[in-house]
Amino acid sequence: MQEYKNLVIIGTSHISVQSIREVSNFIEKNKPEIIALELDKKRFFALTQERKNDFRDVLIGSYIEKKLGRLVGVKPGSEMIKAIELAKKHNLAIALIDQDIQITLKKLTKISFKEKFKIFKDIIKGMLFKKEIVKFDLTKVPDEKLIDVLIGKVKKDYPEIYSILIKERNELMAKALNKIITLNKDKKILAIIGAGHEKEVVRIIRTLDSN
């Protein structure tokens, strides 16, 4: 969890029981006037309408996320669903700060053949992280050190995917949050984003605010 001015950011794991609890406890205790979510309109609709074939069925890694979610008994995106439920319960405003999923998917289809082949090869071999065996509790949010290691590996091994799924979205979400802060200086704001985005999003917001 990080704070900046009237903004609090909770970095979550989308299949973590800990994340659901942290989101719920913070909202119930602090009643932020605005809750910003790492969602776009399509994903918001998919989660709230409980569609069987939502955006996760087409994103890289979705299959793994669903399988891990079943292992810990948590549906992917449950912390977002909890935040939406509590926002409705307490009549709190919701802001969707992520990029349109269709734009992200379109960009992913245009990555180089070299990177597509590397991903395919690593998945087939079951060796996505073949040089390092990383163990952590799936029910909890990974610590910052582990997140940095994992993101660093994605950046090194799959630079195009890193740019599309992490770097570009960090910048977009930071700009959206900076705008919300600027327009709502007298309101408490909570942002719920993936833990892998939290550190960089805060850094970018600080940079934007200093310019």
130: which 2 tokens?
């073949």
H runs (alpha helix) in the chain: 17-30, 41-49, 62-72, 78-89, 101-109, 113-125, 144-157, 159-162, 168-183, 195-210
Could you tell me the end-to-end alpha-carbon distance of the chain, in angstroms, rounded to an integer? 24
Give pairs for 146-154: CB < 8 Å, separation 24+.
147/195, 147/196, 147/199, 148/199, 150/196, 151/196, 153/129
Q: What are 139-192's pLDDT values in tens digits? A: 567 778 888 888 888 899 889 989 999 999 999 999 999 999 999 999 999 999
- pLDDT for res 94: 97
Residue 104, φ and ψ in degrees, nearest 5? -60, -45
Residue 166's Cβ-side half-sphere holds a number of Cα atoms within 13 Å equal to 22
**Is pLDDT larger for residue 133 or for residue 98?**
98
Q: What are 71-82's pLDDT values in tens digits? A: 334 455 789 999
- pLDDT for res 22: 94
Mean pLDDT, to the nearest integer, of 26-37? Answer: 97
Query: Is the model's pLDDT at 128 over the cut of 70?
Result: no
Least confident of 84-88, 184-188, 201-205, 207-211: 207-211
Q: How far apart are CA 140 and CA 138, in angstroms?
A: 5
Mean pLDDT, to the nearest integer, of 85-93? Answer: 96
- pLDDT for res 144: 82
Query: Is the model's pLDDT at 39 over the cut of 50?
Result: yes
